[in-house]
Chains A and B, each alone.
Chain A
Amino acid sequence: MACGRPKLRVGPSQREGGFTDSVPATVSRMENQSMRITALIVCLPLCAFGAATAQGLLLQRAGSQAENRPVIPKASKGDQCVADTEIMRKDHMSLLNHQRDETVIEGIRSEPYSLVSCVNCHAQTDTSGQAIRIDAEGQFCESCHSYAAVKIDCFTCHAAKPAAMEVIGNAEPHLMRDNPHTLVSYLLNKEANE
């Protein structure tokens, strides 16, 4: 970026005060060899100056952004998301929409982008181990959305807290969270009781 700009600006056209000169005109006048060297001499410092200014500006913006940035609560489960975090930040809405049609219309339930699963991993618990709604103020979905002025209606129908079993898993980690065997026996018992 810093090198594209000076190319347009330097050369005789600038000395003649002609910012409006078109690019081809500038180029044709630069055919002269010495002109080219002059251009280079002018261009290099300009380039450096441009880059420095741009960097300064960027740093400044990054600084002010960090202050206002949404504070996104960390996932309460798992070490990674159902896709790369970068992709999830950008594309979660289309992934969710795609999956909802696949599930509701076609009955496919094995895909990773289930809304229930987002809630299971991303909903937080309060100090007493009670689940907090994922769409409450400052909570996972709401943190970004209020920053970006997005409003979703999903949780007027969809549960905003994990199912009771998930809450047990959260409150008593030794019971199931990291132990597939207790999880399996829990599920089998649950099945037998049904």
Chain B
Amino acid sequence: MSRVPVADNEKSLQARRRFLQGLGLAGMASMSYSLLEVKAKTPASSDKRWGLLIETEKCSSGCDACVRGCNEEHGIDDAGDDLTRAQWIRKIDLKDELTGNETSLPVMCQHCESAPCVDVCPTGASFKRADGVVLVNKHTCIGCRYCMMACPYKARSFIHETLTEQKPSAPRGKGTVESCTLCVHRIDEEQDRQPACAVKCTEEAHSAITFGDLNDPDSSISQKLNTLGGSQIRADLQLNTGVRYQGL
């Protein structure tokens, strides 16, 4: 994992922002209305690198809790043609022909450090946030779908039809590409808030998905990766993915 060095003045700026945020929090205790203001005041920072760890031995074939959690959160309709409908997470079942060993795992945007989708985008709409989250800026996406072709994980979907009744927190619309956002709208909103897939997986008693900061050695995701390691899908491509798997 690469850790991007942060310039000293940037660090002191961040410290100051944290201090100011602290003041804000103190003020909030006296004004409950401001509860609605517990939101990211600071920009996404390269101090962090968000990632997911998927423990495949806890993940069972036939369970699609994470997919349901994701679909509910973003108002994704799971009906329709598998070739054209939006799929931010796909459940994949693998079987080793020699040993008969079976594995089941969810595959979503792998939030690569060197993301091919970002490289090929002609408008800069496909981009990587400072904290490692790879996103589509739908305001500048022209729907050319180069990114979909460049992605080795088949993680992106194109919206073919006019949509209605979208969720306020998840704007989506015809003619643009989309994929897993690591639920930025949730994780920016409040500290320790988890992406919807991880929440649902835990709710249904599997706890196969751990979300956290790969740059923080004390985070539970880093601890788990430290003890048991974690592999990347198509590690040969050297994309340094933010989504890691155990038991593959």
Contact = CB atoms under 8 A, between A and B. Distances in A.
Interface of A: 100-102, 104-110, 116, 119, 156-159, 162-163, 180-181, 183-184, 187, 194
A108 B43 contact: yes
Given A110-B39, A110-B40, A157-B166, 15 more contacts: A100-B139, A107-B40, A108-B40, A108-B41, A108-B43, A109-B189, A116-B169, A156-B163, A156-B173, A158-B166, A158-B171, A162-B168, A183-B32, A184-B35, A194-B199
A144 B192 CA distance: 42
Contact of B166 (A159, A181, A183, A187): A159
Contacts of B37: 110
Interface string B17-48: 00000000000000011010101111110000
Contacts of B16: none
Closest 4 CB pairs of A and B: A157-B173, A107-B44, A106-B43, A157-B171
A107 B138 contact: no
Nearest to A116: B168
Contacts of B11: none
Pick the most buried of A108, A116, A156, A184: most chain B CB atoms within 10 A of its CB: A156
Contacts of A105: 127, 129, 137
A61 to B, nearest CB: 38
Contacts of B127: 105
A119 to B, nearest CB: 7
Nearest to B167: A159
B162 A156 contact: yes
B35 A163 contact: no
B168 A158 contact: yes
A165 B41 CA distance: 24
Interface string B158-198: 00001101111101111010000000110011000000000
Contacts of A116: 168-169
Interface in B116-133: 127, 129-131
Contacts of B185: 109
Contacts of B174: 156
A116 B137 CA distance: 17
A107 B167 contact: no
Contacts of A106: 43-44, 129-130
